[in-house]
Every structure is written in structure tokens, then in C-alpha cells.
Structure 1
């Protein structure tokens, strides 16, 4: 099916509809967002003398909804200017415009009768061949397409986005009885390639895949918390990052999503799945009934399982609901010996065996919850899907689990998982024992860099489809390893391109990482054609190893610290001036040194969700790995004839001085961190390493030539320095910054001005690097800088002193 999506119409502008509209705008698609016409004037409209016929009134609902969405945090849109790609209207005056779009997405209230009326109206105007889909979270697709034309039914299916659409990757595609295979294949590919999603084709069963398993897991916990006498805090401690789930874990997540939303889906499953062997698990426990009666629905009502209150001294406190008394109390700490055993285990997948073997209440909890989960997912095949990997994909992409149920089961061991199932009085589906009997001892395996899964219908290991567009580092790390130390692994990506992958905690950059980078560049220059710096951890890099810097500064080992900073600078410059192309692939948090590394690559292939910035001011120093130099250089390259050069330089100065961090890769262009015409953004993070490799290969094949070292960086000297110093004086006088903030800013000003030169001059990069290193070292001798570093190490938060 050769189809291009240039325009979409989104019908319904609520939280979900506006979010979907914003995400299509994110990827460059023009969007028509429509909603109903208000039936009466509000007070503001009456005061202005408007009537129900005025366009501002008729489009009020859609415009207010979109405006509220664009103001929400986190933002649904990559860049504010992308909102101009959305045109609003109403379902009476503008419905005929759907004839001009390539795809119509219905996102109205979850009532079949209302959806059918909307489809009646749409079919009068829809052009034959136009895709038309529903974002329903549970209404059967077959009911929605009843009575529609043949062309409508062939091009109709469910496309279930998860909220918020920008951030959650799951894109469930649910065929109706007559949906054409070409439409399904197109949407499957479009979701992955263009929307940046994990596309999962599901069967038309209640709650589809993600919500069926996810709501079971939550409802199972609701019953377990009472059965085991656990607290809200304890469950959230046990079901958060320690097992690769979001920080909000279970109860905080329910508060954010809204208890009513969860209850709506749980009730739907309870009513529509009478043959589900765990049918009673979807029945609401009494404490949930009480919360619903009290309208304690979570964040939207100001209280749920948690409640934020103001204390007498004006400070805030978050209280927790006691599930026995149903009254709020101060939060209690939650500690378990079993969790302490996992603190030294960095990889989540390696923790599950330890957790399931625990001898305390935590171990008992994990055995119960894993046993129930494993049994449940085994019985959902073939009911909700024929392939087990789709269940794992759905839970990872829709609920933020780092590993899906079958991956966790594999980590514990299939036979051991069966013991957990039986110990809880459950039974696995027959196919699991049949799999073991056939000689297959796991649900997944890796061969020749590809992931294989156990196919139940074929009773054999089959390659997971769609992964040819990806490079999965976990799959090639051992077989393609070229070099390894405690900081990095260097892998051969094929076609003459190496990848250097950080392996330190939070991917911090210390001596071993720098040594590994240098080794990788040397290997690439000798025997390969290009180098990618990329990884597939949660974050690219949170920056330099400040613990190492702190220890050297406290011990006053300034010569060693000077050498460490020089090694960082020299490594960045080696990346810039190597004889092979270097490509950085940042994603997630890319802070401080991680940002500096990207600034010095020949090209950046950034994931759309990249939060990048030079944040060193937060720990009392300036960027010392070439970042301060690079921003001065980029300002110089931006100077144009008749520019007020001081104003240009000031923008780059403020990027560092205000520790600005982009909230998407597209915002990084505004900060001067990414460069138009050189760096690119990919929406699907899974494709990032493969795309970076392709660009490194292309640059090499195009005849890459080693750059010539720069000796032409224009610095403005005393003219710029004077302006910056006056600015920091006034900022301190106005109490916008502290005395120490001023000291740091003045050091940065000295570097970016090129020192106190009497006039504008051309200097070398090394000249600026030397000024930068000197400023960095002098700040490391300051007591207040050491206090800031120590506070960051202890709390993870910046200190203002």
C-alpha cells in the first residue's frame, strides 16, 4: 500500500485528542482538530456581546482544549512553533474538510452510540480510500463498523494511542472484521517509522493487549496489598525502579492517570470477560469503592492514594492514605532486606532471581505477584494475541516496564517460574509445558544479532519481525566486541563502523570512559571507517564523574585534576579532529560532559526525546570539557556583517549561565547545541544507532577529510567582558543570583570573551581551552563549589549557596 500521510483530521479535542493532534504536528503532519459546537454562551462571551453564531464561540471548545494541552507539563509538543501545524474547527462548519485529509482519527467519548453518530456524519464527507480509525481503549471494533459501507470497513480499524501520546510508545492496531491486510501493514509500519511508536497488532478483545495485562497487574496488587498487610509506600517501593518500572510505581501512577480511568477499564473487563480465569481479580476491592464514592480520584481531585497539604509553616507535605483506616497520615519509610541485596546489581534483568529468592516479606510479595502474572499472560495466548513477544512489547511501550512478563519469566527461569505459579495455586497454560517438553527452555534466544521468540502455533523459535531496521546492542555486544574496559564496550556495527558504548553508572564520563573513547578512535582510524558514540540505556550520559572531581579537589590534588580536565578536553578535540567521521547519538538526559561530547562530534543523530544542556553551573563550575570554548566558537561562527556581535555572544553565554536544558531535541537547535543543516533528529529511538551508523558510513564513503584545526575564532575581549560584568553586578544587586553565582558567571565571561584583550581578536581553540581549564580549576578551589558538588552527590539536586 503506497500511501503518504500529509494531513490528518482528529475528531475530539479532549486530553487525548489534543495530545494525538500535537504528536502528528511533531512529525510534520498538518492536522485538522474538530470538536462540537457549544450549546450556550459562557459569561465572558455574554459580556462581550457575542452570539452562538460567532466563530470564536463555535470553536471555543476545541480552542480551549488545545490551549490547555499546549500549556500542560510535560509538553505534548516538541517545539512551540509546531503548534502552527494544527488548524481548529467544529463538527458543523468544518466537517466537509475531512474530504481533503489522508487519515481521520476519532477520539470522542467512550460511548458506542456517540461514536456511531460521529461515523454517520463522517461517512457523508469522507473520500473513499481515506484511512479512518478509532482511538477507543476498549469498545469492540466490530461494533463500531457495523452498518458502514464496504470501503469504510476495509479502511477502518482501532488505533489505540496511550496517554500522553508524545511520551508513551505503545500504538495498538486492532483490526475490524473487514479491515484490509494492506491497511494493517501500512499502519504497523507508519506507527514505527514515522510516529516513533512500538506498533502492536492486537485482537479485538476487551481492553486489547496493554490494558488487559496492565490492569490485571494493578488489580492483582490491589488484592495483594490487603492480603499481605502492606502499605501504599511499601507497594510503591517494591513496584518502582527496582524492577524496571517508572518512579511513580503503582499507587502514584494511579493518582496521575486517575482512579476513575482505571476503574472504567477494570469494570469493562469484568463485565465483558466472564470466562477469564481471573475474573474476580477485576472486581473492585472495598477500599477502591470507598475512594470512588469519596471522589478521591488522584491528582485531578487533589487527593487519591497521596494528598499534598500545606503545613502551618507554609511548607508542603505529601500524606499517604492508610488503607485500613482510610485516613491520611504522614509518609512512612519502606525498607526490605531483599531490596538491599539488589543495590549492587546495576542491570534490572539480573535482579529478578534475587528478588524471587528473598526470605522476607518482599520476597513473598514478588513470588506471589510473579506467579500470578506468569500464569495470567500464559492463558492470554491465543485469546488476545498469538505471539508472546507482543505482550512484552505492549507492557514495555504502554506501561513503561523495562522488561515484559515473558522476559522476566526467562530471567527467573521458565521451570522456576512454573514453580511460582503452582505455589500460588495457579495453573499455567498447556503450551508452556509443551514448549519445555519440545526442548525449548526459554521464551527468547539471540542468534546472529537477532532476537528469536517461541512461536506457539509453529512450536519453534522464530525471528521477531521488524527488527532489521534496528541495531540492538544487547544482541551484538558479546559477539561483536572489539575492545572493553570498565567504562566502555566497543562493538563492530558492520560496514566499517564501530560503536563505543558507555558502561559506567548513569553513563558518567570518567577516566575509563575517556580512555575507552581514545582507544575506540584509534581503532577506527587504524582499521575502520567511522565511529558512533551511542548506547541504549535510559540516558545517554548525565555528564562528568563529579565524585572523582570532588575527591581530587578536597584532597587538593590540583595537578592531577588539571591533568584529568586536560584529558577530557584533549579527548573531545581528538573526536573533532580525528581522521574518521564521528557521530554522537544522544537521547534522554544528555547533560554536562555528555553534551560536550555531542558538541564535538562531526554529526549528531539525536533522539527526539533528548534533554540536552550544559548544566555545570549547578555544581559550581563552568563547562570544562570544551563546552565553554565551543559556545564561544559557535558564537563567532554566527557573527554576520552588521550584527551586534555582543548580543549574539550573550545568547550563547546565557545558554551556559542559565544551565538551559532542551525539553526535546528540536529545542536544542534554539540553544545552539544542535546545528541546522548538520545534525538530525530521529523520532523512533529504536532506530537511532542504525541511523547514526548509516550517516557515519555515508560520510566516510563521501570522502571524509580530517578537519583543519581552528585558528580563526573571533573573541571580543574587554568590550564583551565589560558588558558581562555589568550584567552580573546588576543581577546580584537585584538578588537574582548569589555572590557565588556571580563569581562563576564572571569566570565564564572571561573565557567566552577571550580574556581581557584590548580589542576583538582571532584566537585558536587551544587558547580558549586553556582559559576554560584555568577557570574550571580555580572554581574547584572554592569552598562553595565543593559544597555544591557534595550536595549534588548526596541528593541529586543542585544547591543555591
Structure 2
């Protein structure tokens, strides 16, 4: 049976319900969002003479919840325009509308009695065959479908989104006793392909997979912090980016999520998992109980483990339960990992540490390894599902079994034994069978140790992906210190940056030119893409700073020209070049996208020409390109100055899109040419597909443009008046004005007396001259230095 999802109903509009509704709107689905009717009027409603029968009153809860969600940051929606895809209503007046829905998702309060009432109501109106799922985070699925019809039970299961639904990738699918296999298969595929999620089918056990392991990890740290006498800052330092976890690490994460949420799940595990060998660990420590009494729940109550007072961040002393100024944490063991770029390569060093950090890692990893090994087959039959759940639900770069592999399976067992722990029997059986690791890479695919068969089996679902980690060395064609070129097959190459933060310096530029050379000679097309946290934060400003400080202006001019020429090579090569940006795509990374034949961007792409922040204008063709895009729109009889001004402001205000879709609004992506991929894991494969399509359709090398219309003095005058007014009103500094005027000169095409057609090279020369002149300014050097040392822009 073919099943398509055009309309979705979400019952329950709280933080989670509204977030799920927004994410379905993100992918183009029509959403009906329902909540209960309020029981009484507000003072404001009474004053207006409204009654409980007024439609505005009856839909007040759902409308308020959705409005608050749309205002929240980070935003749950890719573009505010997409909110029009959501229709609101209430469960009393509008339940009959669910008869036209393809999927009904229940997201009401976590109480079984209320959920069962909602399902009873749903069954009155749903048409047979309609999917019905619950977003419960812990209530057993088999309890919920009791008493429902056979068709309902066949099409019912749990679909657990993690909050926030847009950003966290885990999508747990929990079958009920009678859920049809085709329903599970459909939801697994739909979650991955359309929602951009990591779909994991979990067993119907308390807290499923992600929260069972995640809450164990947090609870074990709660106990370990007291046992080892660590501060919360020290634990957050040890459990953050250094081991590939989010910056919020442990205690800040709990503050963001809410201590009450964590306590609710931990209590559920404690009550419902009496046979868990770590049962007592889920008992809440005294300091957590006290915080709950005090309503110190985190961000939602203004204080938790951390508290902001004016501009100062205070942290909680777990012994005295008083707030004190946050202390900087440092450990000798962490210093040893500073030269190791990838977190996965740090674990071997961390567990050998001779200080408190080394002891902490040995204790926490010993506990985690023992715990996850004992959860098989209780919560999952396959170990890779546990890793997938932790990476997608908690933002871990590596799952527990991947970390164990990195340390060494036998070494992990030694660490456990030193802490009085033992792995599950299947781990020692695995070693005895001749498998020395949980994972292996063969023929570009990831294999996992299958416990029942005692053999390495291919992780399912990979065929839709190209995983660069799996082919980096086996398919390498060429590399230097800044980048690596791989053969993706079918005549398409991929260029992957390898520099710090994927910055673009001399090595990366050389690699781009080499990749184009190779493609033109022996291949059909080129993808420029990577699978790091961010596509590229832009040009190597450290190199620019050193040249400018040494006043090596000829060398700097040549470096800028090389950057420009390389970007033009991306545009005017003999093969199609597809750029695949994701995450932070700033400055030079953005300029590269602007010059591609096609951009295949991830939905989570934060794109912007941010050079103003370091005191310069875009110098790698970005200023030229936006002037040219404005020129192309002049033909549509718009007011030309207004069009140019929009593009000017995109650069002058250093606008960064909050999603790939928003980059269309700022003109950095082009409608009808560039596309968005919701699942980042599919991005390289999709980019390859489009490069191949262009090649097979008979790609012709474009001709360099000589027909760019610039407006000269007419536009320049308008911009200069504007920057004068902005400075006079103290909206911008004197140096901001200088940078803006340089940009204005470039985008106007200089002070030509009348509108003129010019070449791209003419604009590139103006752009380079402006960039170079700004690099001679002391205040620009101050901005660059501040960015290099502090990691944020300076206003001077």
C-alpha cells in the first residue's frame, strides 16, 4: 500500500506539540494543531465582553502556545512564512476534522488516563488506515492502545520526538503489541527521508533507548560529582566539547531541559525497572530533591545549577547549596588533547590521565560501558541503535560503543574491572569469537557485531547515504594538509576540507584548483562538501592578519586575487561544481556557495557574508556576486536602487540566515536553482546525484559575464547619504561607516557618471582594492585580532 502524508493533526499544543507542528510545517505538510477549550475567561477577555463561547476564547490556549513557540529562540520553524501551514483549533469543536488527516499525533500531558480519553475521542472520527501515534517519553505503549479497535491498534505506535523537535534528530519508534510491520517500516523511512531524523525502532521498555541511557549517564554523574568532590564547572568542562558533547555539557543541559523533566523520567525508570542492576543509581541525590523543593528548575525558573545575576554567571555549590561566582576549570589531562582534533581520537589519552580528570573518565566510562552492554537485549537487540539514539537525541558525536571501540574493547573491560564492574557476557563471547571490535568498515560501509549470529553485519539504511568517514582513505585520490579529494563513484569527485573549523587558506584553495583540474581531465563533476559540524567559517583570517601586520601588501593582494580566481574557477570550470553547505557557512564558505553551479544546502545552514565583523568587505567575489545578482533583477522593472540596497544591507548588516530556507530570503541562495535537504546525512549523496544529472544532461562551461549593470553615482550617492545618517544617529561607528562606504563604492561600480554595463572582473578588481585598503586600517586589524583571540566581533 502506498502511503503519503499530506495532512497531520497534532493533539496538544504545549512546547513539544507546537514544536512538532512547526517541524511538519517546515517540510511542507498541512498541520491541524488542537488543544483543549479554556475553562474560564481571562480578565482581558472579560473586559472585552467575550464569552466562553467566543471562538477567540475557545482557541486561546492553542493560539497562545503556538505564538510563544514561534517567538522562541532558537526558532522551531525554518521560515516564519511556513507558519501559515498550521491551522489551529480545539478538541471540542474541531475533532471531526481529523477524519481528513493522514497521521494523528497525540502530545498531551504524560498521564495514561488522559491519553486513553484522547484516543477514545480520536477513534470516533479517524478514518480506517490513518496512522495514530503518541509522543510519550515513557508511558508503556501497550497500555495506551488497550480497548481500541483492531484497525486502530494495527496503525498505532509511539513516535517519540526529542525537544526541540526541529534540532534534535532522534525519532524513536516504539511498536505496540499489534502494530503492523508496514507501519513501522513506513515511519522509519518517513522519519529519515522527510523529517530529517535518525529513526530508531525501540522496544516498549521504560524511557525507551535515548532517555534510558541518557538519564543513566546524568544520574551517574550526579552521584560521581559528590563522590569525587568535583564542582559543576569541572564536570561541565569534562563532559562538553572535549569529548564531542554539546557546549552545554551536563549541568547546563539540565538547566535548559528543566530539572523537573529529568526528575520525572528518572523516577519513572526507578519505579518501573526494579531489575535494573543500577536501580539505586536512579534514586535522586539529596541536592536534587532540595532543588526541586526550592523550584530551582533551571532556565524556566531563572535559576538551577547556574544562575545569572546581571551580567555575572553564578554556579551552585552542591555542598552548601549556595550560589557563588563560577570558577574556571582546568586539568592537565585535557591539555594533552589540545593537539588532537577529533574527539574520537582523544579517548585513549583521556582514560590514561594521572589526575582527577583521568580518574573521572575511567569511572564514568566504566559505568557507561557496563550499563549499555547489559541493556542488550532488554532495550535493543542491536548495539548500533544505542549509539544512534545517543548521537541523535543527546548530541553526542560518538555513541558509547564507538567510544569503547576507540579505547579498545579489552582496555574498556580492564577499566570496568578496576571499578568492580563486569561487562555483559556477550562482550567476552564476542572477543572469544574472534571479533575484536563492535564496528568495522568494509567496502565503504559500517558493519556492527551481531550478537545472535556472532558475526559482523552491515548497519541497515546506509545505501541512501555517502559516509565520508568510511571512504576517506580507501577512495582517496589526492590530499594535502588542508583538504582531501575522494572518488564518490560514477565519475564524481568530492573535495572535503580538513583545516581547523574548515577555514579556507592557501592549502584549501590549492585543493579546490586541483579538484577542478582532476575533474576536468578524468571525471564528470565535483562536489565540495564535508560532514564536520560546520561547512566553513570562512577565510583564514589569521593569515590575513599576519600579512597585514607585516605590511606585506603585495603578498596579501596576491592571496586575495588567488581566492577570487579560485571562486571564479568554481563558477567557470568545464565540469559542474555542486557545493553542499551546512551549519556555519560564513564569509569565504558562503562565497564558494555563491559561485557554485548548484547549491545543495542542509536545512540547518547558517549562511552569511560576515566580513564586516572583522573590518573588511567580502573579498572572495561575494561583494561582486551580490552586485551582479541585483543587476539581474533590474530587468524585472523593480526600482533599481531598492533592489541594490537589499543586497547591500545583506552584507553591511552581516545577515546570517537561521536556516537554509531563510538564505533564499537574503538572496544568498537562488530559487529555482538551489535546493534544500532536510536530512544532512543524505546531503553528499544528493549533491552527487545533481552533479551527475548536470553532467549527463550535457554540461557546458559558462561564459564569463561582461553585462553586469552598475548604477554608479546614482547608487553611490544614496548609500553615502545613508551611512552619514547612520553615523550621525550613532547607529554605526566611524569605522563602520568607512567599511560601508567601501562596499557602496564596489556595489555601485565606482563613481561612474551613469548606469553602465561592466564585467565581473571589473567588479572583482574594485572589491580587491577595497579589501586591501581596509587591511591597512588600524581599526580593522584590531577587529581581526579581537576575533582571533576572543572569538567574537569587536565594535570600534
Q: 2:38 maps to which residue?
A: 38
Asked whether 1:630 is paired with 2:625, we answer yes
Segment of structure 1 superposing worse, 544-553 or 420-429 = 420-429
Deviations 1:237-285 (A, max 9, x none): 0000000000000000000000000000000000000000000110001
* Cα separation, 2, equivalents of 1:212 and 1:72: 28
Asked whether 1:507 is paired with 2:502, we answer yes
Cα shift at 1:641: 4.7
Q: 2:790 maps to which residue?
A: 795
Q: 1:192 maps to which residue?
A: 192
Cα shift at 1:2: 1.3
Asked whether 1:244 is paired with 2:239, we answer no
Q: 2:100 maps to which residue?
A: 100
- Helix, strand or coil at the partner of 1:533: strand
* Cα separation, 1, equivalents of 2:641 and 2:504: 33
Matches for 1:766-781 after TM superposition, within 5 Å: 766-781=761-776
* Cα separation, 2, equivalents of 1:16 and 1:499: 38
Matches for 1:302-313 after TM superposition, within 5 Å: 302-310=302-310
* Cα separation, 2, equivalents of 1:711 and 1:695: 28
* Cα separation, 1, equivalents of 2:18 and 2:145: 24
Q: 1:416 maps to which residue?
A: 411
Which of 656, 659, 667 is 2:654 aligned to? 659
Asked whether 1:270 is paired with 2:270, we answer yes
Deviations 1:293-340 (A, max 9, x none): 111000111100000112xxxxx1010000011000001110100000
Matches for 1:83-94 after TM superposition, within 5 Å: 83-94=83-94
Q: 2:514 maps to which residue?
A: 519
- Helix, strand or coil at the partner of 1:501: strand
Q: 2:684 maps to which residue?
A: 689
Deviations 1:750-777 (A, max 9, x none): 0000000000000000000000000000
Matches for 1:67-78 after TM superposition, within 5 Å: 67-78=67-78
Q: 1:18 maps to which residue?
A: 18
Which of 585, 588, 592 is 2:583 aligned to? 588
Asked whether 1:608 is paired with 2:603, we answer yes
Residues 721 and 285 (structure 1), Cα distance of their counterparts in 2 relative to 1, 3 Å cut: same
* Cα separation, 2, equivalents of 1:495 and 1:107: 45
Cα shift at 1:427: 1.3
* Cα separation, 2, equivalents of 1:457 and 1:95: 47
* Cα separation, 2, equivalents of 1:387 and 1:11: 33
- Helix, strand or coil at the partner of 1:659: coil
Residues 280 and 730 (structure 1), Cα distance of their counterparts in 2 relative to 1, 3 Å cut: same
Deviations 1:666-714 (A, max 9, x none): 0000111000000000000000000000000000000000001100000
* Cα separation, 1, equivalents of 2:218 and 2:596: 44
* Cα separation, 1, equivalents of 2:2 and 2:377: 31
* Cα separation, 1, equivalents of 2:694 and 2:544: 36
- Helix, strand or coil at the partner of 1:172: strand
* Cα separation, 2, equivalents of 1:482 and 1:459: 35
Q: 2:612 maps to which residue?
A: 617
Q: 1:132 maps to which residue?
A: 132
Q: 2:553 maps to which residue?
A: 558
Asked whether 1:574 is paired with 2:569, we answer yes
* Cα separation, 2, equivalents of 1:672 and 1:328: 47
* Cα separation, 2, equivalents of 1:293 and 1:733: 53
Asked whether 1:484 is paired with 2:511, we answer no
Matches for 1:125-164 after TM superposition, within 5 Å: 125-164=125-164
Asked whether 1:435 is paired with 2:417, we answer no
* Cα separation, 2, equivalents of 1:9 and 1:555: 63
Matches for 1:713-724 after TM superposition, within 5 Å: 713-724=708-719
- Helix, strand or coil at the partner of 1:781: coil
Asked whether 1:536 is paired with 2:555, we answer no
Q: 1:678 maps to which residue?
A: 673
Q: 2:741 maps to which residue?
A: 746
Q: 1:179 maps to which residue?
A: 179
* Cα separation, 2, equivalents of 1:625 and 1:714: 20
Deviations 1:45-94 (A, max 9, x none): 00100000000000000000000000000000000000000000000100
Q: 1:80 maps to which residue?
A: 80
Q: 1:699 maps to which residue?
A: 694
* Cα separation, 1, equivalents of 2:296 and 2:616: 46
- Helix, strand or coil at the partner of 1:751: helix
- Helix, strand or coil at the partner of 1:768: helix
* Cα separation, 1, equivalents of 2:421 and 2:289: 27
* Cα separation, 2, equivalents of 1:432 and 1:416: 12
Q: 1:295 maps to which residue?
A: 295
Asked whether 1:334 is paired with 2:329, we answer yes
* Cα separation, 2, equivalents of 1:275 and 1:268: 14
Cα shift at 1:109: 0.1
Deviations 1:83-137 (A, max 9, x none): 0000000001000000000000000000000000001111000101000000000
* Cα separation, 2, equivalents of 1:331 and 1:190: 45
Segment of structure 1 superposing worse, 447-456 or 636-645 = 636-645
Cα shift at 1:640: 2.8
* Cα separation, 2, equivalents of 1:329 and 1:643: 59
- Helix, strand or coil at the partner of 2:270: helix
Asked whether 1:358 is paired with 2:353, we answer yes
Q: 2:444 maps to which residue?
A: 449
* Cα separation, 2, equivalents of 1:330 and 1:68: 32
* Cα separation, 1, equivalents of 2:567 and 2:81: 33
Q: 2:781 maps to which residue?
A: 786
* Cα separation, 1, equivalents of 2:323 and 2:516: 58
Normalising by structure 2, report the TM-score: 1.00
* Cα separation, 1, equivalents of 2:473 and 2:307: 48
Cα shift at 1:420: 1.0
Asked whether 1:224 is paired with 2:224, we answer yes
* Cα separation, 1, equivalents of 2:570 and 2:194: 31
Asked whether 1:282 is paired with 2:277, we answer no
Cα shift at 1:642: 3.3
- Helix, strand or coil at the partner of 1:253: helix
* Cα separation, 1, equivalents of 2:252 and 2:75: 20
Deviations 1:568-611 (A, max 9, x none): 00000011000000000000000000000000000000000000
Q: 1:210 maps to which residue?
A: 210
Which of 698, 718, 721 is 1:726 aligned to? 721
Asked whether 1:109 is paired with 2:109, we answer yes
Normalising by structure 1, report the TM-score: 0.99
- Helix, strand or coil at the partner of 2:187: helix
Segment of structure 1 superposing worse, 632-641 or 212-221 = 632-641
Moved over 4 A (4+): none
- Helix, strand or coil at the partner of 1:324: coil
Deviations 1:688-741 (A, max 9, x none): 000000000000000000001100000000000000000000000000000000
* Cα separation, 2, equivalents of 1:777 and 1:100: 62
Asked whether 1:496 is paired with 2:491, we answer yes
Aligned length: 796
Cα shift at 1:458: 1.3
* Cα separation, 1, equivalents of 2:298 and 2:683: 36
Cα shift at 1:421: 1.0
* Cα separation, 2, equivalents of 1:335 and 1:617: 34
Q: 1:313 maps to which residue?
A: none
Matches for 1:162-173 after TM superposition, within 5 Å: 162-173=162-173
